[in-house]
């Protein structure tokens, strides 16, 4: 990997983006995902700016896909229109996408919809990057948008998504998270990192997204009317998707949540191999990717004991702020691959606390 900045793609491209536009992208990511903000804060220029903008391109699609107030087929149409904006040979503009979205925009959609409102700004920053950086993002965001649209057409009823099989669950995880991981890997390769085994990269993404699905069961049902737990696993418990809202079925739903957690844990080995391909000393790439890996392992630890809470309560199954801060400090210090392995083992055992080093004698 080259250490000469001039040999890496420049932040300047054919389209001008102001410093204010670029600064806004970092603020916007912080407003919609504090967890992903940790990753971006650990990265260094120019990769942090690339990842920030790529994430926002994905978040626009995700916001449309998640909104239960928009009929599923209409969400699919909007996502396909968004894909057309990304297509380099299609005349569809961001303005046309926004005009199509406007009738469905919630009055108080919060930070996510504020990002959608700024689609033109996101595209302006995107277009300012070197063409190689744009291409690293474009194909993946298009895969996400079209995959989400296909899923909505095939798996959403008049309400939200109801997945039938484990295979459908993992296919969905690919479109909403695997594609983000692929985007990151593409950008790291543009910078000069080695190419990871695609299966290990897939397992890294599945680990993260399956953990999210397990911990957010109640939230997904109440805010999006989505139940991602596989119908075939629910049926083995003698229940269906609507049991998520049945106080008498909490134990049975929690049993399925634990199966999702176990499935996620099965992918930790591939995720570990993926991290091993990342450079230790280049623009924060290893710590930026190791941070969500460690958070996922810690959340698995919590869910092992608290699966029922994920079924009955929103945003309660999570690690402590102190543990997050301790892990972030370890990542900010520039860990080696062996350091990440050590931290992963510690997190699995219990809430991570850094070792207290004895003070040196005078």
17-53 pLDDT, tens digit per residue, is 899 999 999 999 999 999 999 999 999 999 999 999 9
pTM: 0.92
Write down the mean pLDDT value for the chain. 93
Q: At what angle do helices 198-215 and 285-312 cross, to 10 degrees?
A: 30
Using DSSP's 3-state secondary structure scheme, residue 161 falls into strand
pLDDT in tens, 247-287: 999 999 999 999 999 999 999 999 999 999 999 989 999 99
Q: Are 81 and 97 in contact (CB under 8 A)?
A: yes
For 227, phi and psi rounded to 5 degrees? -125, 110
- All structural domains of the chain, each given as residue ranges with its CATH number in brackets, are 16-130 (no CATH), 161-349 (1.10.600.10)
CA–CA dist 265, 271 (Å, integer): 10
Cis peptide before 219 (omega within 30 of 0): no
**Chain mean position to CA 35:** 9
């Amino acid at each position: 990997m080259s250490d000469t900045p001039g040999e890496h793609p420049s932040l300047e491209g054919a389209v001008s983006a102001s410093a204010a536009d670029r600064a806004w992208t970092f603020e916007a990511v912080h407003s919609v995902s504090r967890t992903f903000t940790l990753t971006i804060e650990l990265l260094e220029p120019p990769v942090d700016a690339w990842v920030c903008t790529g994430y926002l391109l994905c978040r626009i699609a995700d916001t449309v896909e998640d909104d239960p107030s928009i009929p599923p087929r209409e969400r699919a149409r909007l996502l396909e229109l968004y894909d057309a904006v990304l297509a380099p040979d299609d005349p569809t503009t961001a303005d046309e996408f926004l005009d199509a979205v406007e009738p469905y925009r919630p009055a108080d959609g919060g930070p996510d919809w504020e990002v959608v409102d700024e689609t033109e700004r996101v595209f302006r920053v995107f277009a300012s990057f070197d063409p190689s950086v744009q291409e690293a993002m474009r194909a993946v965001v298009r895969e996400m948008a079209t995959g989400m649209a296909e899923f909505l057409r095939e798996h959403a009823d008049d309400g939200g998504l109801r997945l039938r099989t484990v295979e459908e669950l993992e296919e969905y995880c690919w479109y909403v998270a695997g594609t983000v991981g692929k985007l990151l890997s593409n950008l790291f390769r543009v910078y000069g990192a080695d190419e990871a085994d695609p299966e290990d990269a897939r397992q890294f993404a599945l680990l993260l997204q399956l953990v999210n699905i397990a911990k957010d069961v109640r939230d997904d049902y109440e805010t999006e009317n989505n139940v991602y737990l596989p119908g075939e696993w629910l049926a083995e418990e003698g229940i269906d998707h609507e049991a998520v809202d049945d106080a008498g079925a909490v134990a049975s739903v929690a049993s399925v949540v634990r199966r999702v957690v176990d499935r996620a844990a099965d992918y930790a080995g591939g995720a570990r191999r993926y991290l091993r391909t990342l450079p230790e000393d280049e623009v924060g790439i290893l710590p930026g990717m190791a941070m969500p890996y460690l958070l996922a392992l810690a959340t698995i630890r919590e869910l092992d004991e608290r699966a029922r809470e994920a079924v009955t309560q929103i945003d309660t199954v999570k690690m402590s702020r102190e543990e997050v801060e301790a892990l972030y400090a370890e990542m900010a210090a520039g860990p080696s691959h062996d350091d990440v392995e050590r931290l992963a083992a510690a997190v699995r055992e219990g809430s991570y606390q850094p070792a207290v080093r004895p003070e040196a004698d005078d």
